[in-house]
């Protein structure tokens, strides 16, 4: 069965070597409004470019001569960040532990109840959306941050560490008024409404420098 790559959101990728299981999953997921993208082998999956709407993957552990868990690790190495739900016919605890450690969001054993599967997919979707949002925010913050001058970057590092203007002026050896001007520029360039906003953005940029502190070290 050939599926056109759908335009809408919520595309679920199915990777299972058993045709009957594939098509039953396809039918179930379409009945609740998802679109599916089916692969029978890992090679097929790796050679086909994935549409950006792909938001969750159902991965069987047994894929012919390939182990699904090995493949999950390979995916991580290749930088594929799709949330993955592992489905297996004969799961045991070591397998589940390995799956979750390798980054799977859920681990289901066959045969599964439809609600269990759909809940797992809903959780994965949530995770994907959050991931997607934070990716966007991170990108935005990085873009804004790139517009700052070197001095402004230094000042920003001090601000998010909680230093007062006086302390910043003292630390960088500039006047208080200059610090205030830099500060105003930073808020404007980073599109931050408040100091809290700026701090949140800095989280995405991983700017926090533990050596800078408002209080003197003991």
Binding site for other proteins (CB under 8 A): 18, 20-21, 23-25, 27-28, 30-32, 62, 64-65, 89-90, 110-114
Alpha-carbon distance 41 to 142, whole Å? 37
CB of 110: closest distance to other proteins in angstroms?
Answer: 4
Give yes or no for a contact between 15 and 45, defined as CB atoms under 8 angstroms apart.
Answer: yes
CB of 114: closest distance to other proteins in angstroms?
Answer: 4
CB of 82: closest distance to other proteins in angstroms?
Answer: 21
Give 211's contacts (C-beta < 8 A, 6+ positions apart): none
**Choice between 25 and 190, CB closer to other proteins:** 25
Alpha-carbon distance 100 to 122, whole Å? 17
Nearest in space to 190 (alpha carbons), one of 149, 158, 143: 143
**Choice between 69 and 190, CB closer to other proteins:** 69
**Choice between 38 and 155, CB closer to other proteins:** 38
For 108, other C-beta atoms within 10 Å of its C-beta total 18
Burial class of residue 16, CB neighbours in 10 A (0-12, 13-18, 19+): buried
CB of 19: closest distance to other proteins in angstroms?
Answer: 9
**Choice between 7 and 113, CB closer to other proteins:** 113
Burial class of residue 115, CB neighbours in 10 A (0-12, 13-18, 19+): exposed
CB of 87: closest distance to other proteins in angstroms?
Answer: 8
**Choice between 51 and 89, CB closer to other proteins:** 89
């Amino acid at each position: 069965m050939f599926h056109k790559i759908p335009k809408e959101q919520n595309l679920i990728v199915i990777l299972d070597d058993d045709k009957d299981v594939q098509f039953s999953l396809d039918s179930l997921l379409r009945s609740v409004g998802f679109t599916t993208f089916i692969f029978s082998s890992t090679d097929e999956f790796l050679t086909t470019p994935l549409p950006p709407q792909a938001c969750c993957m159902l991965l069987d552990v047994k894929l012919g001569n390939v182990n699904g868990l090995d493949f999950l690790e390979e995916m991580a190495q290749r930088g594929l960040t799709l949330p993955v739900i592992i489905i297996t016919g004969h799961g045991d605890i070591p397998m589940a532990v390995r799956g979750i450690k390798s980054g799977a969001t859920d681990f289901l054993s066959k045969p599964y109840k439809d609600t269990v599967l759909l809940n797992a997919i809903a959780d994965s979707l949530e995770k994907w959306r959050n991931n997607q949002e934070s990716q966007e925010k991170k990108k935005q913050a990085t873009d804004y941050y790139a517009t700052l001058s070197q001095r402004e970057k230094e000042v920003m590092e001090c601000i998010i560490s909680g230093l007062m203007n006086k302390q910043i002026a003292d630390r960088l050896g500039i006047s208080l008024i200059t610090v205030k001007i830099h500060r105003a520029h930073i808020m404007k360039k980073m599109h931050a409404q408040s100091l809290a906003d700026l701090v949140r953005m800095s989280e995405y940029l991983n700017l926090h420098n533990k050596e800078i502190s408002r209080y003197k070290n003991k």
